[in-house]
A and B are shown apart, each in its own frame.
Chain A
Amino acid sequence: EVKLVESGGGLVQPGGSLRLSCAASGFTSATYWMSWIRQAPGKGLEWVATINQDESKKYSMGSVKGRFTISRDSAKNLLFLQMNSLRAEDTGIYFCARDYYGSGLSYFDYWGQGILVTVSS
């Protein structure tokens, strides 16, 4: 059974940092592109970042460029999102997801349950 479990969320002050983790099981995560998608309270889904298998390709949304970094440890089946210079508008639930295609530009076939990030003083 494919499982994605996020951790590392919480309350942080504006300007602070958090590192989210996503533990994958039930499949060989090293063969898949992986992504982070977020959802502000009461709002829709917003793609954040995507990484390929060997970390040679990374894509991210404009408003997080230079602040958020996606990375992975394929040997441990872990995906990360390092979030720096956090702003109130970064508040929301962060989901990790598996990109179905192994070659980029894909839909998301499995999602984690999400982890809450709250940026507030």
Chain B
Amino acid sequence: EIVMTQSPATLSVSPGERGTLSCRASQNVNSDLAWYQQIPGQAPRLLIYGASTRATGIPARFSGSGSGTEFSLTINSLQSEDFAVYYCQQYKDWPYSFGQGTKLEIK
């Protein structure tokens, strides 16, 4: 079973600044990695798939990078609607697994 570990648990960033979130896989997942955003009370929304491809309608300030076991999600020029919880998910093998989430909060 592939374990996904996200860091930090909470990231405090000022609006307009950049935030970088990390995700580590316990074994190689190639680029089979997705990122989701969840605003409290809402369903998760797909942001990134294939480690670096933005989903339809996702602003260019969101970017993903990495492969193998180390991944990151960078959000440039943070806007108020970006403060949420972010999850990574591997789909390299069964069972699917998510990281525990990073809460991005306003500094």
Residues of A participating in the B interface, judged by any CB pair closer than 8 Å: 35, 44-47, 50, 59, 61-62, 95, 100, 105-114
Contact = CB atoms under 8 A, between A and B. Distances in A.
A111 B92 contact: no
Contact of B46 (A44, A50, A61, A107): A107
Contact of B100 (A44, A62, A111): A44
A43 B22 CA distance: 18
11 contacts: A44-B99, A45-B87, A45-B98, A100-B49, A105-B91, A106-B91, A107-B49, A107-B89, A109-B46, A111-B43, A111-B45
A5 B5 CA distance: 30
Interface residues of B, number: 24
A22 to B, nearest CB: 12
Contacts, number: 53
B87 A44 contact: yes
Given A45-B44, A95-B44, A111-B44, A62 B95 contact: yes
Interface of B: 32, 34, 36, 38, 42-46, 49, 55, 87, 89, 91-101
A94 to B, nearest CB: 11
Contacts of A106: 91
Interface hub of A50, A109, A112 (most chain B Cβ within 10 A) = A109
A106 to B, nearest CB: 5
Contacts of A62: 95
A107 B44 CA distance: 12
Nearest to A4: B43
Contact of A112 (B32, B34, B43, B94): B43
A59 B42 CA distance: 26
Contacts of A61: 95
Contact of B93 (A50, A100, A105): A105
A45 B44 CA distance: 9
Given A95-B44, A108-B46, A111-B44, 6 more contacts: A44-B98, A45-B36, A45-B87, A106-B91, A107-B89, A112-B43
